[in-house]
């Protein structure tokens, strides 16, 4: 959102904090948060592949007290992981854009979906998980012919 500038500052815990904002594809859901830009992670698990319709999911965490919905009310789906843990997944009920995941009850943090964040180009992945499920071509993407547009 215009007006919610990408401001970085040092937190009390020594982590960099960056103010971010984001929205779903249709704009019905909008949010603002503060994140550590060095906390970006990629998950290759098969649940994330299915829930995104893609090869992996990219998340950045934010503390519950640093997250605010500015507009809209997401639809939710509770997923049970291989570990038995349950997570509430929030998405736009209109366009289907995934927004975040959190604990089912009393979340202390949210895993924001990086594709919805306006300032996403400022982040770099720092961690990958569930590599055993990674598609075998993921590491070769840089060698695939590419074009700037369609």
What does the pLDDT average to over 80-108? 93
What does the pLDDT average to over 70-95? 94
Query: Which pTM value belongs to this model?
Result: 0.83
Q: Give the list of residues 6+ apart from residue 73 with CB closer than 8 angstroms, or none.
A: 29
What does the pLDDT average to over 2-18? 52
Domain boundaries, the chain: 8-135
Residue 103 has pLDDT above 90, yes or no: yes
49's enclosing H/E stretch is helix 46-52
CATH of domain 8-135: 2.170.150.70
**Does residue 25 or residue 85 have the better pLDDT?**
25
């Amino acid at each position: 959102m215009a007006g919610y500038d990408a401001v970085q500052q040092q937190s009390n815990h020594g982590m960099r904090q960056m103010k971010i904002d984001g929205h779903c594809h249709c704009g019905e859901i909008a949010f603002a948060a503060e994140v550590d830009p060095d906390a970006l992670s990629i998950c290759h698990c098969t649940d994330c592949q299915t829930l995104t319709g893609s090869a992996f999911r990219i998340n950045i965490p934010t503390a519950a007290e640093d997250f605010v919905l500015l507009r809209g009310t997401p639809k939710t789906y509770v997923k049970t992981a291989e570990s038995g843990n349950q997570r509430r997944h929030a998405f736009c009920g209109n366009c289907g854009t995934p927004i975040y995941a959190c604990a089912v009850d009393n979340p202390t943090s949210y895993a924001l979906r990086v594709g919805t964040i306006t300032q996403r180009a400022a982040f770099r992945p720092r961690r990958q998980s569930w590599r055993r499920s990674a598609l075998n071509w993921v590491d070769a993407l840089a060698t695939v012919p590419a074009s700037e547009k369609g």
